[in-house]
Amino acid sequence: MKYFCFLIMAVMALAGCSSRTKQGAETQAAAVEAKAAVPEVEFDADSAYARVVEQCAFGPRVPGSEAHRRCGDYLAGRLRSYGAAVTEQRMTLTTFDGTEINCRNIIGEYNPDASKRLLLLAHWDCRPWADNDPDPARRREPVPGANDGASGVAVLLEVARQLSVNAPKIGVDILLTDAEDWGDSGAGNDDTWALGTQYWAANPHKPGYRPMYGILLDMVGAGGAVFAREYFSTYYARGIVDEVWRVAQAAGYGDYFVDDSGGAITDDHIFVNRAGIPCIDIIDQSGDGGTGFFKQWHTTGDTPDIIDTATLKAVGQTMLNVIYNY
């Protein structure tokens, strides 16, 4: 019996030895690198989904509405509860149709003194009209904004919760932008959209604010989402697109983060780029509805039931991997 045990141990030792010698320095280095790339922090998509439901429970967050006011308080409170240093920009903006709206951009900072920073942003307001609704009678109702609004915010709130538990090496700023969606869909005028971000770009929350780059999340929760490489993102920040898509694909989310080149989309990132901060847009261009976006885009059907936790996970985990790879 003793002899038998010894034999097994000897064989195991020899096998281990030979496999070790076979493993070249390069493979070992690759293994170490792969290990370092494994996310230390797990994005909880169920938590993110709960944040979508909570936002939608206020009703459509149309600027000026009671739902908007109450949800703004909720968002600032959430960021505070996750340990962010929260500042708010409150301003009155005039929309293309002449409406004066009380707006607020909500900013949560992590590691405020770190010079190497990342800006993560998403709009939290809802479009006042579901002008794309299949039922013409409902086109003057507001959009519930589960995907178009709440999904990006929900992912960033779960990122914030993780940041409060695992301090990142770099600084991270979460910017929840207002009045993105009160734009004129009839005119080819960029400037009617993203009013909150335009205000922020002209009045940064910190003078001389210079993050390394920004990542905008817009419509990041619908089942079957496809994140093609959006045109302006590639134009202004190709290297960042490449890196974020590489990180996503390495984590197994290549079905979402595809290598196709996408359309040119007027969104918050345009005004961040124009302010000199490279910024990409992760935006669902699955094109299901013929609009180029998800099927329920700017309809009354943009409700939490169309949100898929697998999509939230793909985007949220990619954000965490990007942050914690520094």
Which residues contact ligand AHN by CB under 6 A? Answer: 148, 181, 193, 218, 265-267
CB of 306 to Zn ion, least distance (A): 14
266 binds, options ligand AHN, Zn ion, none, Cβ within 5 to 8 A by partner type = ligand AHN
CA angle 278/312/70 to nearest 5° reads: 85
Q: Which of residues 145 and 304 has its CB atom nearest to ligand AHN in the complex?
A: 145
Q: Which of residues 109 and 148 has its CB atom nearest to Zn ion in the complex?
A: 148
Q: Which of 148, 173, 178, 267 contacts Zn ion by CB under 5 A?
A: 148
Q: Which of residues 142 and 171 has its CB atom nearest to Zn ion in the complex?
A: 142
308 binds, options Zn ion, ligand AHN, none, Cβ within 5 to 8 A by partner type = none
- CA 197 to chain centroid, in Å, comes to 15
Pick out residues in 179-198 that bind Zn ion (CB under 5 A): 181
Instruction: Please provide residue 130's backbone torsions phi and psi, each rounded to the nearest 5 degrees.
Output: -85, 65
265 binds, options ligand AHN, Zn ion, none, Cβ within 5 to 8 A by partner type = ligand AHN
Looking at the chain, the number of H-run helices and the number of E-run strands are 9, 8
Instruction: Please provide residue 202's backbone torsions phi and psi, each rounded to the nearest 5 degrees.
Output: -80, -20
Q: What is the DSSP string of 170-191?
A: SEEEEEEE-SSS---SSS--GG
Q: Which of residues 47 and 291 has its CB atom nearest to ligand AHN in the complex?
A: 291
CA–CA distance from 323 to each of 37, 56, 83 (Å)?
Answer: 11, 28, 17
**CB 145, CB 60: distance < 8 Å:** yes
From 66-74, 108-116, 147-155, 226-234, span contacting Zn ion (CB under 5 A) = 147-155
Would you count residue 133 as binding Zn ion (CB under 5 A)?
no
267 binds, options Zn ion, ligand AHN, none, Cβ within 5 to 8 A by partner type = ligand AHN
Q: Which of residues 226 and 247 has its CB atom nearest to ligand AHN in the complex?
A: 226
Distance between CA atoms of residues 80 and 172, nearest Å: 14
Distance between CA atoms of residues 65 and 143, nearest Å: 13
Residue ranges that bind Zn ion, judged by CB under 5 A: 127, 148, 181
